[in-house]
Chains A and B, each alone.
Chain A
């Protein structure tokens, strides 16, 4: 039987290697929050028939309407994306009319999002609450589901530690995405994050369930062997469910799903992968580490690995 658990410190190091650079990027650049959380507006337009206005011509247009923080970006599809602070519908009409006059052709609104500042802040605080609630619900739920196993509480805590790991991985990806592809943290990102949390727990429960079952059947085994045994038994399922089905579906979404869904699909893809990874390489090893109380050895000479 494959011995997975003995190299546990290697997995921890690997996870840190994935997580830390992304978090450093986020720390240095600040969270790339979208207007969903900060308030503001986003106007995507396409010029048809007339002259396409350049960024230098658009910004004064906004300034005339009293908006002095407009930023213009050209997209792959040849449309213009203008971000600014909150635009009322009246101001938007004034700006659009002016664009039409200056371009001499038709200006097509592809997308317009405008979020008031108060609503953005309310969404952000409620989102944080939703994540915290989800984490709490998980600990309580697992502790109840595993109440017949010794130290049921540990399983809940390990699931949450692994969940935090997955959330950190998602944020790390968001950091890289923000740096290279101008990704933003928006309502869809939040949806993806909460899904990762849900599925992360689902995955832990499957592995823990096997430990629960084995611990009543194989009582004489040492705890580490028992956990290792359980991981190996569920390994095929983990690979098949995760890689072959969920990841295939998401990969299809990322490749063919259009711009709106790409970021969402990539985040889910990495997040769900991390969810499966962390059940095997984070949650279960921590259970063993806890059982053996390995932290006593951490500060002795040459004790790691």
Chain B
């Protein structure tokens, strides 16, 4: 027997109302009733994945020689730099995430100018401080350094013009990762220059190097191109330095901006690109929506016809389930993808399975001569162990899938497993809590005499 039946019913109605509210709006807003101040606001506009509205997905991989340990913080910094750069293009809803320990996946749903995005991502902006000994390379020449050689997407010009000898590989002392702040200042002659402050780690390296190499040249390169090659005039112990060269106010400012926002701590290369045209996406969206509707209608009819009264109650609870699931997807900004829709449909199957298990049990108990109240009770109690164990098995597989999807930025696999796992979770709640409460309420107020007609036995 269920206690607090009407409390349960009220709770169900409240949850349903909340879910429908989120489902029906693009933004939810709670106002203070006394002064109309906004207390809470959240956008709940549905997010469509690449496959449903077209767009670009790109997978970037750290371009370092095999076996180089990769610093997780540096990857995170690189991720946020890529995010800042692409946000500057005004693409909305893009998502840049880490995938595994050496990859970054960028999703740009709805992006039309995919080339512009790819260009700006690949502008590596890798700043290096290079020990060139006594050589003072000219501004604009390309230096070979021992940090991450062999990148394919560098802005390097075509290979050496004829007749040049093989280039010396210079040692990189540190990279832009150790740069804490950059600003435009003036040098001793009053010309524009760039002032920089190093992190404490960088300051230590810098202090040691400058102390040991007074009179030598410290060349600064951006993407291997020499920006400036000052001589070391004295030890710089405090981690504050200046890059001076032949800057104009504009070029100094541009370089400072690039150093500030564009110094990727780790070089990245594009290892995977997926572009989906908007027409293909739109077509898929429409077709899968129709498919979902048709499938749902058939299933709802079947449940009603086969299981009669409980079937109709289950139909109500399935609609309830769909409303909650969709509201959760919208509220937490899940991206809806095609496999996501498929996962959702499958979890609907799991939700129905729980109901079917219970109803079959209920009919069995009725056939064994129990009265209606006992049969409903027994149906739930007895079916519970198989519902629990079987759904747990599905959730375990979904989690393994999710793990697989997130290591490779396989957004489709992730979307599928997430909606499946969530759907199965919600379906447990609706079958056990909602269907049961509703059925009990119906049976209290309406006592069917003809079990054959109402329960189909």
* Chain A positions near chain B (C-beta within 8 angstroms): 88-89, 93, 108-116, 118-119, 122-123, 126-127, 130, 133-134, 137-138, 141-142, 145, 187-188, 190-191, 194-195, 197-199, 201-203, 205-206, 209-210, 212-213, 233-234, 236-237, 240-241, 244-246, 248-253, 255-258, 260-261, 264-265, 268
Complex interface: chain A residues within 8 A of B279 (CB): 108, 110
Cross-chain contact of B401 among A191, A199, A255, A257 (Cβ < 8 A): A191
B165 interface residue per 8 A CB criterion: no
Complex interface: chain A residues within 8 A of B35 (CB): none
Cross-chain contact B356 with A237 (CB below 8 angstroms): yes
Distance A257 CA – B390 CA, assembled complex (angstroms): 28
Cross-chain contact B349 with A246 (CB below 8 angstroms): yes
Distance A198 CA – B400 CA, assembled complex (angstroms): 10
Cross-chain contact B389 with A209 (CB below 8 angstroms): yes
Complex interface: chain B residues within 8 A of A213 (CB): 382, 385
Cross-chain contact A210 with B271 (CB below 8 angstroms): no
B6 interface residue per 8 A CB criterion: no
Residue of B nearest to A264 (CB): B342
Cross-chain contact A195 with B338 (CB below 8 angstroms): no
Known: A108-B277, A265-B342. A205 touches B408 (CB 8 A): no
Complex interface: chain A residues within 8 A of B400 (CB): 130, 133-134, 137, 194
B276 interface residue per 8 A CB criterion: yes
Cross-chain contact B280 with A253 (CB below 8 angstroms): no
Distance A236 CA – B350 CA, assembled complex (angstroms): 16
Known: A194-B401, A236-B360, A249-B346. A257 touches B393 (CB 8 A): no
B357 interface residue per 8 A CB criterion: yes
Cross-chain contact A245 with B356 (CB below 8 angstroms): yes
Distance A197 CA – B118 CA, assembled complex (angstroms): 38
Contact with A along B327-362 (1 / 0, CB 8 A): 000000000001100110110111011001100100
* Chain B positions near chain A (C-beta within 8 angstroms): 51, 59, 61, 115, 118, 152-153, 270-277, 279-280, 283-284, 287-288, 290-292, 294-296, 298-299, 302-303, 306, 338-339, 342-343, 345-346, 348-350, 352-353, 356-357, 360, 364, 382, 385-386, 389-394, 396-398, 400-401, 403-404, 407-408, 410, 412-413, 416-417, 420
The interface residues of chain B, by DSSP majority, are classed as: helix
Distance A116 CA – B353 CA, assembled complex (angstroms): 42
Complex interface: chain A residues within 8 A of B284 (CB): 258, 260-261
Residue of A nearest to B276 (CB): A111
Complex interface: chain A residues within 8 A of B280 (CB): 110-111, 260
Known: A241-B356, A256-B291. A194 touches B397 (CB 8 A): yes
Cross-chain contact A233 with B364 (CB below 8 angstroms): yes
CB distance from A76 to the nearest CB of B (A): 13
A–B Cβ pairs within 8 angstroms, 12 of them:
A111-B280, A116-B61, A118-B61, A188-B339, A194-B401, A195-B420, A199-B394, A202-B394, A205-B386, A205-B393, A237-B356, A250-B346
Cross-chain contact of B413 among A187, A197, A209 (Cβ < 8 A): A187
Distance A201 CA – B349 CA, assembled complex (angstroms): 15
Cross-chain contact B413 with A119 (CB below 8 angstroms): no
Cross-chain contact A198 with B398 (CB below 8 angstroms): yes
Complex interface: chain A residues within 8 A of B401 (CB): 130, 191, 194-195
Cross-chain contact B291 with A209 (CB below 8 angstroms): no
Cross-chain contact of B51 among A108, A195, A260 (Cβ < 8 A): A260
Residue of B nearest to A92 (CB): B273
Cross-chain contact A191 with B274 (CB below 8 angstroms): no
Complex interface: chain A residues within 8 A of B350 (CB): 202
Complex interface: chain B residues within 8 A of A206 (CB): 357, 386, 390
Known: A114-B273, A130-B403, A206-B386. A191 touches B349 (CB 8 A): no
Complex interface: chain A residues within 8 A of B153 (CB): 88
Having A114-B274, A249-B299, one finds 15 other A-B pairs with CB under 8 Å, namely A111-B274, A113-B275, A187-B410, A194-B404, A199-B394, A202-B350, A213-B382, A241-B352, A244-B299, A248-B302, A252-B294, A252-B298, A253-B345, A255-B294, A268-B346
